[in-house]
């Protein structure tokens, strides 16, 4: 790890100001990606702006058909929240399957979503549930949020405050882990709102994406079999030593099917 300046602001404005002022400032939420990168000397920010003391970023509230989760809420808190378990059990289960207990006790929802790791779990829930990402500047629809590999709609100085999840009628997350890291080699989040269905896939391409042909088929018939014949092109699938593109494309169909079955379809 290289030397850096450390800041612990009390407010979002102060945090945004510190990042803006720094030569190469980075926000740190749970630090589950940033800190290992720094330890390996792969990242060398000049300043770390720690969000852990900023007021109002933690906590879970349910209001009507919306679950709002503060950006600094840890995975373990989402996983064990009775409110989340009741309203969106698929989201609680997803949080309980991220990393290992150490990661779940430090890692935060906002940190994961802002990082847009192609193999992270949370982005599939944000997109699959059609959540709204609230920042210090605006509200961004999930469909407009994830832009690419580690790339989101967040602008410089923009910080996630909370994420608002609509409560679905049924939902499930299923993942097939990469054998070494446990990250999703393919993960599928499926949610049904009345007749509308959303299918979000993580791990397979450079960022989380929806599968309209599956959503259409499931809207007509919310059964696993309804999408059994839908195969995605392997052309823009990720390919690495653990998973070739053709295998990934195949896994998307299988895992999505299993997610639908888990969601009661």
Partner 1 sequence: MDSTFGEKFGIGQPVRRKEDQRLLKGGGKYTDDVSIPGQAHLAFVRAAVAHARLKGIDGTAALKGPGVLGVFSGKDMEADGIGRVITDAALKDLSGKVMFRTKRLAMPVDKIRYAGEPIAVVVAETAAQARDAAELVQVDYEELPAVVTARQGLAKGAPAIHDEQPDNLCLHYENATSEAYDAAAKQAARIASIELVNNRVIPVPMEPKCCVADMDTKSGRLTFYAPTQGGRRVQGAVAEMLFGGDGDKVRHVSDNTGGGFGTRSKIYPEILATCYAAKKLGRAVKWSGDRSETMVSDLHGRDQVDRAELALDANGKILGYKVEMLANIGAWVTENGARLPIDGGGRIVGGLYDIPVLYFSCKAVMTNTVPTDTYRGAGRPEANFLIDRLVEKAAREMGIDIREMRKRNYITSFPYRTQMGLTIDSGNFAKCQDEACKTIGWDDFPARRKQSEARGRLRGIGMTSFIEGSGGRPEETMRLRFEKDGKLSVICGTFSHGQGHATVYSQLLHDKLGMPFDAVSLIQGDTDTAPEGAAGTFGSRSSQMGSMAIIGAANIIVEKGKKIAGHLLQAPPTEVKFEGGNFVARAGSISITEIAKAAHDPAKLPEGMEPGLDETFVYKRANGRDDMNYPNGCHICEVEVDPETGHIEILDFAAADDCGFVLNPLIVHGQVHGGIAQGIGQALTEYLVYDEETGQLLTGTFMDYGMPRAHHFPDMKAVFSPTMSTNNDLGVKGAGEAGACGAPTAFVHAVLDALRPLGVEHIEMPLTPNRVWQAIQAAKRKGAA
Question: Applying CB under 8 A, which residues contact partner 1?
Answer: 1-3, 40-41, 176, 179-181, 183, 185, 241-244, 246-247, 250-251, 254-255
Which one, 46 or 181, has the nearer CB to partner 1? 181
Shortest separation between residue 89's beta carbon and partner 1, angstroms: 22
Q: What is d(CA 167, CA 45) in angstroms, rounded to the nearest whole number?
A: 38
Would you say 225 or 246 has its CB closer to partner 1? 246
* Strands 47-50 and 5-7, bridge-based pairing: parallel
Within 13 Å and on the Cβ side, how many CA atoms surround 78?
32
Tokens standing for 206? 């450079």
Whichever of 210 and 250 has its CB closer to partner 1, that residue is 250
Q: How far is the CB of 106 from partner 1 (least distance, A)?
A: 17
Cβ–Cβ contacts within 10 Å for residue 235, how many? 7
Smallest separation, CB 171 to partner 1 (Å): 22
Q: Which residues contact 32 (CB under 8 A, 6 or more apart)?
A: 99, 103, 106, 107, 111, 112
Answer yes or no: are the C-beta atoms of 28 and 69 closer than 8 Å: no
Q: Please state the closest distance from residue 134 (CB atom) to partner 1, in A.
A: 32
Task: Tell me whether residue 216 or residue 242 sits nearer to partner 1 (CB atom).
Answer: 242
End-to-end Cα separation, the chain, in angstroms: 49
- The nearer residue to partner 1, 156 or 229, going by C-beta atoms, is 229
The structure tokens listed for 221 are: 């018939």
Q: How far is the CB of 248 from partner 1 (least distance, A)?
A: 9
Cβ proximity to partner 1: between 88 and 186 the closer is 186
132 forms bridges with which residues in the sheet?
A: 141, 164
**What separation in angstroms does the CA of 248 have from each of 54, 200, 243, 251, 254?**
40, 15, 6, 5, 10
Sheet holding 66-70, edge to edge: 60-63, 66-70, 160-166, 132-135, 139-141
Question: Measured from the CB atom, is 22 or 245 closer to partner 1?
Answer: 245
């Amino acid at each position: 790890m290289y030397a850096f300046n450390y800041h612990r602001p009390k407010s979002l404005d102060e945090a945004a100001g510190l990042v803006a002022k720094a030569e190469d400032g980075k926000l740190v939420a749970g630090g589950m990606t940033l800190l290992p990168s720094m330890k390996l000397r792969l990242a060398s920010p000049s300043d770390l702006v720690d969000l852990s003391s900023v007021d109002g970023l933690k906590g879970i509230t349910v209001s009507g058909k919306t679950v709002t989760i503060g950006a600094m809420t840890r995975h373990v808190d989402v996983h064990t929240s009775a409110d989340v378990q009741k309203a969106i059990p698929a989201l609680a289960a997803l949080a309980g399957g991220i990393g290992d207990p150490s990661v779940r006790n430090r890692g935060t929802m906002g940190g994961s979503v802002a990082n847009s790791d192609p193999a992270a779990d949370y982005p599939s829930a944000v997109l699959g549930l059609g959540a709204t990402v609230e920042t210090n500047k605006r509200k961004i629809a999930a469909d407009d949020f994830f832009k690419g590999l580690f790339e989101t709609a967040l602008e410089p100085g923009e910080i996630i405050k909370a994420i608002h999840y609509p409560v679905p009628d049924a939902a499930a997350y299923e993942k097939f882990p990469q054998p070494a890291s446990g990250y999703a080699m393919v993960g599928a989040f499926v949610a049904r709102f009345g007749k509308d269905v959303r299918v979000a896939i993580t791990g397979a391409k450079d960022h989380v994406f929806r599968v309209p042909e599956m959503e259409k088929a499931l809207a007509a018939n919310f059964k696993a079999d309804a999408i059994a014949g839908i195969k995605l092109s392997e052309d823009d699938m990720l390919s690495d030593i653990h998973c070739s593109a053709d295998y990934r494309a195949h896994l998307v169909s299988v895992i999505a099917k299993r997610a639908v079955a888990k969601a009661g379809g």
